[in-house]
Amino acid sequence: MRSHALLCSLDTTSLAQIIQTCAETKQLIKGKELHAQLLLTWYPMCTFLTNHLITMYSKCGVIRYAHNLFDKMSQRNIVSWTAMITGFSQNLWLPEALKAFSQMRISGMNPTQFAFASIIKVCVSLRSITLGKQMHCLALKSGLDSNLYVGSNLADMYSKCGMMIDACKFFEVIPCKDAVLWTAMVDGYAKNGESEKALVAFKRMIKDGILMDPHILSATLSACAANKAYKFGMCLHSSVVKLGFESKVVVGNALVDVYSKVGDMESASNVFVIVSEHKNIVSFTSLIDGYGEMDRIDDALDMFVELRRQGIEPNEYTFSSLIKACANQAALEQGAQLQAQVIKLNFDSEPYISASLVNMYGKCGLVDHSFQVFNEIRNPTEIAWDALLNVFSQHGLGKEMMGTFDKMVLEVKPNAMTFTSLLSGCSHAGLVEEGLSYFHFMEKKYGVVPREEHYNCVINLLGRAGRLKEAEDFINSMPFEANAFGWCSFLGACRVHGDAERGKLAAERLIKLEPENSGALVLLSNLYAKEGKWEEVRALRTMMKEGNIKKLPGYSWVDIREKTHIFGSEDWSHPQRKEIYEKLDCLLDQIKEAGYVPCTASVPLDINDNEKLQFLHHHSERIAIAFALLNMPFGKPIIVKKNLRVCLDCHSAIKFISKVTGRKIIVRDSSRFHHFADGWCSCGDYW
């Protein structure tokens, strides 16, 4: 009786306010109790109250209750339709939202700006730009397209569908831009790979006097991460601290991502600790990805163990980051264990994970495993196809790569990454004409505009083949200046083919672009050494010493029983050094008997041949192979990784070692894979 009296004493406005409070605070039980009391006391249910109840149930996630109420309404107004459409949209009942919008128009009611905003969000969720354009036309006819609320959602729709030009048109015609519209644009630029424009848009927003909120900061920090804009990110971090947003998980995750992307793992870890109370899988994955990029695989795996300990479930991005880290370090055993976890958690069908596994096995030298993983993918996406192409490319399997491309274009459209792999693979396999053909038709046939990396691949393609004049002409005809990578490829080709004049030109251009890059001077020095110009060699070495420019030391590593063993040239530090060097001497005798002739020209030093032979004999990859032969069971392939390009003499020696030992040896150097077996190499002596 008391409840009945209390309800009767309240007018519909007061009741509506109570229902609205329940909706905003997500107090579903209180809202249902109030609704029940209204029904039990036969309180007159007008359209006004029912509209509020529909909104309350929608916001609390019980869309069926809202739908039942809506269906039983004897009279509906534009607010009823809008509330129902918005409820369907918020709860991802997308077909029902479209049906309700259509029925509203059939009933003769014109959509409001809120109905348009909700239905445009449905188009975004459906990724249907065709439907979105239809809604755009209706908004235009209704005169609501320039409304801030509708315009913001249209700009967001076009940006999320990758149509930034159309998004910009809306953005510019809306006179009064709010934080929501600016966020849509910044986020759109960032997610469409135009991070620099995202940062420019953020600066314009600040100039317009719009206050920063967690959403715009998160979007802008994502752009900083993509662009590796370290200083900009640090400035934003200071703003985050001043505004008190550092503990906001969406901002904290974005900050962790920024610092991880630029390699400042100390700052990333500090932010991670600050958001520790609210950290989620995104926080962990950002940190794991950062450790992976820095080749700190043990730290990445430790973070994975920690997130599992805390009961946080990994997602496809967590696994793809971990598998990528294993690929970068060629950590086969850890990668295989992760694949077992992936299968156990039913993530093996995820596109990013399957592509990462294809890539990981390829970078560990196991092409057959890569191919097997790819064949188990039901409907390969372009990511998976690109991963397989890249594996064949790195291993110099030109025919397999081209055959894969022919199959790929029947299923998916090739992209910029596809042609980078193709051109690089043609370069490794010596398929010059085929590579040039791919370069010339990539835009004409597939609409992929050649970028810097594609031009660099062509320079490398021509240079490796000794067509230095053509490579030089190609550089001069490029629509932009060649970058450091292009000149480095050209300089390397000049060294291999003994063209000192062009090599000097390439070195000068490279030094101008990257004064602190020791590679240019080392390559030029090697080129002079090959021609016996020892005065020039000494002059370059003096220049490096005076400029404090240090040559990158060569080292090789091999994994045995989940432990990585690293070796440098003339390395005497390993506990098994005595056995290793005895094995090296034994191998040298064996391969000499088999026909090995040292290539002392590979040593760019003015010393006698005996000293050169000793120097070659103790190169890091040979030490790693000797160690592996001592410690790995017969029948298991030896996989050695090296940070620099394998020298001509070591390449020859390893061919003979594979013959006299009967072992398969896989060497991954800085540019490609070499598969040695029975005295032969997969590269065909072309690398």
The proportion of the chain whose per-residue pLDDT surpasses 70, expressed as a percent, equals: 97
626 closest CA partner among 673, 558, 547, 575 = 558
Q: Residue 276 above 70 pLDDT?
A: no
Cα–Cα distance list, 623 to 291, 398, 516, 654 (Å): 29, 31, 30, 11
Average pLDDT over residues 437-456: 95
| Helix H or strand E segment including 438 | helix 432-446
| Helix H or strand E segment including 553 | none
- Rounded Cα distance between 669 and 641, Å, is 6
The proportion of the chain whose per-residue pLDDT surpasses 90, expressed as a percent, equals: 49
Q: What is the pLDDT of residue 1?
A: 42
Phi first, then psi: what are they for 205, rounded to 5°?
-60, -45
Q: Residue 548 above 50 pLDDT?
A: yes
Average pLDDT over residues 121-144: 87
Question: Are 664 and 658 spatial neighbours (Cβ–Cβ below 8 Å)?
Answer: yes
Give, to the nearest 10 degrees, the angle between helix 179-191 and helix 214-227. Answer: 20
Q: Residue 552 above 50 pLDDT?
A: yes
List, for residues 241-252, the tens digit of each pLDDT value: 999 898 888 898
- Rounded Cα distance between 628 and 613, Å, is 22
Average pLDDT over residues 305-324: 92
Maximum Cα–Cα distance for the chain, whole Å?
111
Give, to the nearest 10 degrees, the angle between helix 281-293 and helix 316-329. Answer: 10
Banded model confidence at residue 8, pLDDT cuts 50, 70, 90: low
Torsion angle of C-alpha atoms 167, 172, 175, 180, degrees rounded to 10 = 40
Point out the least confidently predicted range of 132-146, 388-402, 543-557, 625-639: 543-557
486 closest CA partner among 522, 461, 449, 515 = 461
List, for residues 331-366, the tens digit of each pLDDT value: 888 999 999 999 999 898 888 899 999 999 999 989
Q: Residue 5 above 70 pLDDT?
A: no
- Rounded Cα distance between 576 and 559, Å, is 15
Mention every residue, 6+ apart, whose C-beta is less than 8 A from residue 543.
521, 549
Mention every residue, 6+ apart, whose C-beta is less than 8 A from residue 296.
265
Check residues 516 and 664 and name the one with the higher pLDDT.
664
Phi first, then psi: what are they for 509, rounded to 5°?
-65, -40
* pLDDT, averaged across the chain: 88
Q: What is the pLDDT of residue 527?
A: 76
Question: Are 285 and 307 spatial neighbours (Cβ–Cβ below 8 Å)?
Answer: no
Q: What is the pLDDT of residue 2?
A: 46
Point out the least confidently predicted range of 33-37, 427-431, 641-645: 33-37
- Rounded Cα distance between 136 and 170, Å, is 11
Q: Where are the alpha helices (DSSP H) in 113-262?
A: 113-126, 129-142, 148-160, 164-173, 179-191, 195-207, 214-227, 230-243, 249-261
Banded model confidence at residue 6, pLDDT cuts 50, 70, 90: low
Q: Is 686 helix (H, G, I), strand (E, B) or coil?
A: coil
Q: Residue 539 above 50 pLDDT?
A: yes
> Domains in the chain, start-ordered, CATH in brackets?
452-547 (1.25.40.10), 555-681 (no CATH)
Point out the least confidently predicted range of 4-13, 80-89, 359-368: 4-13
Question: Are 210 and 185 spatial neighbours (Cβ–Cβ below 8 Å)?
Answer: no
- Paired with 556 in beta bridges are 567, 642
